[in-house]
Amino acid sequence: MGFFDFTDAIVRLPADSAVDGLRAGNGPAPSLDGIRAEHDSYVEALRRIGLDVDILPPLDRHPDSMFVEDPALVFPEGAILLRPGAPSRRDEAALLEPVLRQRFEALLALDEGSADGGDVLVTPARVYIGCSNRTDEAGARALARSLGKIGRDTRIVATPPGTLHLKSDSALLGEDAVLATPALAASGAFEGFEILITPEGEESGANLVRIGRSVLVGAAFRRTIDLIAGRGLTPVPLDTTEIAKVDAGLSCMSLRW
């Protein structure tokens, strides 16, 4: 299998409380119907690409729980339960534990600090861990130790001030090619990679997901879609208007392996 060839995914349905998820801004509130419709389209896209998708039930006490990639990471070698940086999300990892234990022979858990899966970018050579508003240095070091136990090399990098997550501002488009916002590209985090810069005004389009030759990308980012197509990949535009209002994007809505 190639690096981008996934066969399975785990998602969680949005809870009724999803509209109360974490929000950095003071813009209009999201629509619950809109969030559900966007999540349904996301799951349908994963299935069209060929993934076997396991859909977990909603957790109404946890508004952000549909963003399953923040409390856990999965690899062919095993899974890691994380310690989300937002206090309201800290219990979500334990709620994923039974599901992951059924699917992975090795299951590790962070024991200190804070670390969100949104700050983890996996590349063929190593795993990049970004220190951000949600991942502190202690959590990044603890995660690096856990990744070392499953044979993964790591590099801890600093994200620009105000960055929510490393993958809010970057994504892997090729085995040696990263799409990044201007600020993250200038940080030096991805030295040695071909760095593609997000088109002006489409910085949020950096949060995308490549699966095989397909790339899930926000439908609003037309020039980013053109950039993807220009590299011989197949863009899969998805509406993320409502989900973006709760500080989220495409990468955080599934665990893929």
β-pairing verdict for 154-158 and 170-174: unpaired
User: Which are the contacts of 256, defined by CB distance < 8 A and separation ≥ 6?
Assistant: 6, 8, 9, 51, 74, 209, 211
DSSP E strands in 126-248: the ranges are: 127-131, 154-158, 170-174, 177-180, 194-197, 209-211, 214-218, 234-238
Closest CA to 85 of 144, 139, 41: 139
The alpha carbon torsion through 112, 183, 121, 143 (nearest 10 deg) reads: -10
Residues 70/22, Cβ–Cβ less than 8 Å: no
Q: How far apart are CA 5 and CA 154, in angstroms?
A: 21
Q: Is 252 known to be catalytic?
A: yes
Residues 189/174, Cβ–Cβ less than 8 Å: no
Query: How many Cα atoms within 13 Å fall on the side-chain side of residue 201?
Result: 4
Tokens of 252: 């955080």
Residues 150/124, Cβ–Cβ less than 8 Å: no
Q: Is 165 known to be catalytic?
A: yes
CB atoms within 10 A of CB 102: 9
- Tracing tokens 């760095």 back to the chain, one arrives at 195
Catalytic residues: 165, 252
